[in-house]
Amino acid sequence: MALKTIVAGTASTLLLLAAAGCALVQPSSTACQGADPAVVCTADGPVRGAIDHGVLAVKGIPYAAPPTGARRWQPPAPPTPWSTVRDGTRFGAICPQLAGPQVAGDEDCLTVNVWTPRPATAGPLPVMVFFTGGGNHAFSGQGAGVFGGVQYNGDRLVPEGVVFVSFNYRLGALGFLAHAAPGPDRLAGNYGSLDQIAMLRWVQQNIAAFGGDPKRVFLFGTSAGGGNLCALMTAPSARGLFQGASLQSSVPTGCEIATLADVQAGAGARVAQALGCDGPGAAACLRAKPMADVVRAVPGTFGVFPRLYGPNVDGQVFPEQPIAAIRRGAHTAMPVIVGNSTQETMQFVGGLGPVPDGASYAAAVRKAFGAPADRILAQYPAANYPTPRDALVRVTTDGLFTCQSRRVARVLAGAQPQPVYRYLFDHRLDNDPDQRALGAVHTVEHPFFFAWQGQYRPTEADLAVQRLLVGHWTSLARDGNLPSWAPAGDAYLRISDRPLLTRDDDARCDFWDTVTLPWPHL
């Protein structure tokens, strides 16, 4: 389908851009180079980044106008073009979110960051766009730093011959609030999803100026980020904007999302009530509230199950359940990686209560899974594991991640000719006592893509896993297939310093295929 740009400008702006040396129709990687190789011309204006160890990083580039005032809970609008060289050496503001008891960030947050080789390469490079996790209510394109987590950057990926992109999108109630007010006050949610699509359109129009290939855009995301990708594969307005995807630790709901009615009656009604905006004029009332009040009204939560905020089936952005669209081949077919880690839920099972014994383990399983709990307990007796907590981690990891990954991979493989690869990340950071004790937990792969945290000194095994992980992901972005990791039915790649193609989860996942799980989206 034809791509519609969100960029607009006047004739005078175009003349000013021409005077700055910018390409006006098809930006090229050399258009702004000459005196300053750190300057790149986007369709909206020139930006100067910083070069370090052969990598140019250009940060904080607006891809949409600030969604403030009357633009709150509206689709993203084009950014205002600029003519003088913009500073791109610092990240833009993160989107509003809770950081402990404080509200961090600013609504003027819709920015994108690009890392690319310098000197520039002769030909266009594949593009890898990272979708952060954070439950659609936390984190940003610069990382999970506000929570002490990994910082995202392209320093490790760019030397492998790719252009790396990260970005911010609206989070929490500001990104996904839906409200059933009548007429023009109706809020349909999915504003964060529309931001993601606007960013991908920006990539299509601008990435050539950074040396990237708009026909080889590969998206990879963890947790909520990967869940957003699965939904975007079925969004009509995202068709043609990307050509590959990796869904990492992200399909506990099997690529199902909430319905608009459920979100309106759930989080939407709760936010409006908390802010005193019930009844006529609800949208205007909500838009007039201070940003911090909206963020605090109904906070998102982390846990075993998804909570509160995310995309919904609104009949427009997402016409139907993503997994249903995939099953009937109504998605954008592309090479896909799907997978998770072996101790995926280790950080989250504490929310189910302490499990010192078999009775508390059974209570936690009933709390997590509801009606099917007795069948699940028979399949996963606590006596089969070193501790009840180990049993709880295994049952929730299998039921919500590993076997959901197999289910989604099967549906994708049956609906398209393009390859589908499945993995299980089974490597722990042995030089960090805390990480070693936790195991291969949720998002444990981040340091292998981006940077080791703090003073961590990687082992030879860590470096072997890093080479494997980065090599496979960048190869799929570049070539669209992985000859050394052939898709083989239900077999998956167990990623460690001794990788193995196996299917040792078949019996467990066959059981989970018979279980109907509750999805408490609200």
Residues 6+ apart with CB under 8 A from 325: 234, 319, 331
Active-site residue identified among 107, 256, 344, 445 = 344
Query: What angle is formed at CA 82 by the lines to CA 77 and CA 88, rounded to 5 degrees?
Result: 95
Do the Cβ atoms of 340 and 249 come closer than 8 Å?
yes
d(CA 176, CA 170): 8
State how far the Cα of 448 lies from the Cα of 442, in Å rounded to an integer.
13
Q: Quick count: other Cβ atoms within 10 Å of Cβ 359?
A: 11
- Is residue 328 a contact partner of residue 415, using CB atoms and an 8 Å limit? yes
Query: Terminal CA-to-CA distance of the chain, rounded, Å?
Result: 34
> Which residues, 6 or more positions from 60, have their beta carbon under 8 angstroms from its beta carbon?
87, 88, 90, 91, 92, 111, 113
The yes-or-no answer on residue 28 being catalytic is no
- DSSP H or E segment with residue 127: strand 125-131
Backbone angles phi, psi at 76, to 5 degrees: -65, 140
Residue 447 CA to residue 432 CA, distance in Å, equals 12
Nearest to 210 by CA among 23, 479, 83: 23
Give residue 431's region: left, alpha or beta (phi > 0; psi -120 to 50). Answer: alpha
Alpha-carbon distance values, 373 to 61, 307, 395, 406 (Å): 49, 21, 11, 21
| Known catalytic membership, residue 442 | yes
Q: Which helix (H) or strand (E) holds 408?
A: helix 403-415
Point out the catalytic residue in the list 137, 179, 331, 442: 442
The DSSP H or E segment spanning 288 is helix 282-288
Evaluate the omega torsion of the peptide bond into residue 119 and state whether it is cis, within 30 degrees of 0. Answer: yes
Residue of 29, 140, 193, 223 marked active site: 223
**CA dist 273 to 189, 278, 298, Å?**
17, 6, 10
Please tell me the distance from the alpha carbon of residue 31 to that of residue 20, in angstroms, as a whole number.
10
- Are 251 and 226 in contact, with CB atoms under 8 Å apart? yes
Instruction: Characterize 424-436 residue by residue with b for buried, 16 or more Cβ atoms within 10 angstroms of its Cβ, and e for exposed.
Output: bbbbbbeebeebe
Alpha helices in 307-372 (DSSP H): 322-327, 358-369
Q: Is 12 assigned a catalytic role?
A: no
CB 127 within 8 A of CB 216: yes
Nearest to 445 by CA among 150, 72, 92: 150
Residues belonging to the active site: 223, 344, 442
